């Protein structure tokens, strides 16, 4: 098999790259080791920056997003006794949208298959070869177990944190930065109308809590827990009462409902550079991870492939390598801004057990909720800085 761009991974990065390339007439094949049902059901991120919405709309996959997505004009920042709304349009002229990553993935898979373009699900043994030549190859076994070879001009490693692409960078050329945080998030999805109009980010001495949503009838909520916490220790009652306790506010009541999904996710910052080696280009979680407190993971993946698509179009349609050569530097500047913002939000909102730190956090929260310039900085980063 031959294609121009071999894309490894059918997450948001790989699927959107394929869609953006198709709009420009560039051929690609998407290779995914999981099943279609699995990738469409994996509950992850839920907040899209304005720029992400614009890119999806421009790629022709914004129709359902505009119909069903919920525009959010701010967030509430809370600490005991205070719940302050930050008005994003007033602070920075932009908004964000609540629309689940699962829905983005469904829309992208639907568009690609409807256009007769290829996604190979349930492959195994993915291996990359000859990346330093201009004829790289990907070998794998297809869903029937038959060995396949995909010859490409370029390979896009969009295979997430655990995929095989990043390890192909020679160790001597690769630099990584890691920060493991001493906490995790217990996340639930529940069939109950959100108890709030905007997301609530709540600081509490017993740990952070977040109220998010997926639709007018589905809520998404998170609790800070220890990284070694076990899901079995959390009954439905315990989860709901801890959420109510940490988000308590006078005159406000958290509505409860059946929990349909639950998971515990450890929190980590990770950056790997460069994001390109020879004819291999990395995008999304394959190159970097942020803790979810800034709602940046999915948006960074979208920003990476937007820049990468331009670079590959220049390279493959016009034979010009300039943007491919600057891809890694361009993408990493945005990655580090989002890494800083995500670390900052995480540091401001999570209980560490250190009382000195707690006082600094409360001081920072009072500052962000009272100073328009501090609030503007949060709003600008949360809604997403311009692509370049
Ligand atoms: P992924 O979505 O990870 O996609 C990579 C794809 O590559 C996957 O489909 C994988 O199956 C496939 N793949 C892997 N190995 C191979 C192989 N060998 N061959 C073929 N295919 C392969 N962000 C937020 O902002 N908010 C959240 O609440 C949030 N929650 C998260 C919860 C979890 C459990 C995780 C892991 C991430 C979460 N994130 C969250 C981050 C966000 O979801 C990611 O940043 C986003 O999914 C990145 O998209 P991606 O396409 O780069 O990677
Ligand atoms: C979510 O809805 O899953 C979500 C929202 C905001 C975050 C993280 C996750 O900061």
Going by pLDDT thresholds of 50, 70 and 90, the confidence category of residue 138 is very high
* 255, pLDDT greater than 90: yes
State the distance from the centre of ligand 1 to the C-alpha of 8, rounded, in angstroms: 12
Task: Flag whether the pTM goes above 0.95.
Answer: yes
190-228 tens-digit pLDDT: 999 999 999 999 999 999 999 999 999 999 999 999 999
Shortest-distance atom of ligand 2 to CA 220: 2
Residues 65 and 77: their CA atoms lie apart, in Å, by 26
* 388, pLDDT greater than 80: no
Nearest CA to ligand 1 atom 26: 45
For residue 298 and ligand 1, the question of a CB distance below 6 A is answered with: yes
Dihedral sign computed on CA atoms, order 288, 292, 297, 299:
negative
pLDDT value, residue 387 = 80
Q: Which residues does residue 221 pair with via DSSP β-bridges, in sequence order?
A: 188, 211
Going by pLDDT thresholds of 50, 70 and 90, the confidence category of residue 386 is confident
What is residue 137's three-state secondary structure? Answer: strand
7-23 tens-digit pLDDT: 999 999 999 999 999 99
Shortest-distance atom of ligand 1 to CA 220: 28
Nearest CA to ligand 1 atom 28: 45
For residue 104 and ligand 1, the question of a CB distance below 6 A is answered with: no
Alpha helices for 263-296 (secondary structure H)? none
Q: Which residues does residue 273 pair with via DSSP β-bridges, in sequence order?
A: 175
Mutate-to-test residue for ligand 1 from 166, 292, 306, 308, highest number of ligand atoms within 8 A of CB: 292
Going by pLDDT thresholds of 50, 70 and 90, the confidence category of residue 184 is very high
Residues with CB under 6 A from ligand 2: 45-47, 199, 212, 220, 292-293, 295
State the distance from the centre of ligand 1 to the C-alpha of 158, rounded, in angstroms: 9
| Six-digit token string for 51 | 């720029």
State the distance from the centre of ligand 1 to the C-alpha of 299, rounded, in angstroms: 12
State the distance from the centre of ligand 1 to the C-alpha of 360, rounded, in angstroms: 33
Going by pLDDT thresholds of 50, 70 and 90, the confidence category of residue 49 is very high
Residues 185 and 264: their CA atoms lie apart, in Å, by 6
CA-based diameter of the chain, in Å?
65
Rounded mean pLDDT, 365-375: 98
Residues 27 and 57: their CA atoms lie apart, in Å, by 20
DSSP letters of 226-248?
-TT--GGG--HHHHHHHHHHHT-
pLDDT value, residue 206 = 98
86-109 tens-digit pLDDT: 999 999 999 999 999 999 999 999
Give percent of the chain above pLDDT 70: 100
State the distance from the centre of ligand 1 to the C-alpha of 48, rounded, in angstroms: 15
Q: Which of 278, 277, 335, 264 is nearest to 305 (CA)?
A: 335
150 with 123: CB under 8 angstroms? Answer: no
Residues with active-site annotation: 72, 201, 292, 296, 382
């Amino acid at each position: 098999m031959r294609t121009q761009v071999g894309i490894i991974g059918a997450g948001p990065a790989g699927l959107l790259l394929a869609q953006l390339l198709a709009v420009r007439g560039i051929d690609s094949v998407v290779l995914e080791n999981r099943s279609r049902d699995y990738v469409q059901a994996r509950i992850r991120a839920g907040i899209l920056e304005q720029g992400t919405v614009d890119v999806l709309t421009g790629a022709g996959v914004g129709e359902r997003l505009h119909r069903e997505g919920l525009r959010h004009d701010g967030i509430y920042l809370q600490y005991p006794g205070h719940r302050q709304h930050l008005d994003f349009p007033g602070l920075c002229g932009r908004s964000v949208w609540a629309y689940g990553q699962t829905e983005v993935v469904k829309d992208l898979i639907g568009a690609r298959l409807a256009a007769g373009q290829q996604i190979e699900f349930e492959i195994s043994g993915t291996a990359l070869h000859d990346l330093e030549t201009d004829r790289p190859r990907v070998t794998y076994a297809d869903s029937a177990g038959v060995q396949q070879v995909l010859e490409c001009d370029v390979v896009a490693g969009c295979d997430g944190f655990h995929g095989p692409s990043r390890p192909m960078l020679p160790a001597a050329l690769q630099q990584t930065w890691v920060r493991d945080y001493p906490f995790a998030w217990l996340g639930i999805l529940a069939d109950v109308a959100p108890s709030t109009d905007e997301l609530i980010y709540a600081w509490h001495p017993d740990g952070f809590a977040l109220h998010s949503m997926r639709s007018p009838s589905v809520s998404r909520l998170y609790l800070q827990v220890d990284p070694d916490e076990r899901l079995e220790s959390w009954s439905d009652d315990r989860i709901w009462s801890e959420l109510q306790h940490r988000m308590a506010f006078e005159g406000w009541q958290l509505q409860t409902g059946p929990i349909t999904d639950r998971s515990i996710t450890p929190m980590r910052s990770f950056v790997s550079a460069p994001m390109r080696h020879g004819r291999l280009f990395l995008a999304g979680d394959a190159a970097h991870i942020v803790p979810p407190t800034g709602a940046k993971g999915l948006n960074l993946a979208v920003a990476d492939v937007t820049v990468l698509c331009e670079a590959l179009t220049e390279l493959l349609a016009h034979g010009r390598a300039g943007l491919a050569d600057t891809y890694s530097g361009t993408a990493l500047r945005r990655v580090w801004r989002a890494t800083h913002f995500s670390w900052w939000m995480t540091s401001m909102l999570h209980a560490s057990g250190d009382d000195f730190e707690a006082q600094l956090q409360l001081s920072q929260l009072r500052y962000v909720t009272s100073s328009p310039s501090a609030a503007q900085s949060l709003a600008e980063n949360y809604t997403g800085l311009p692509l370049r």
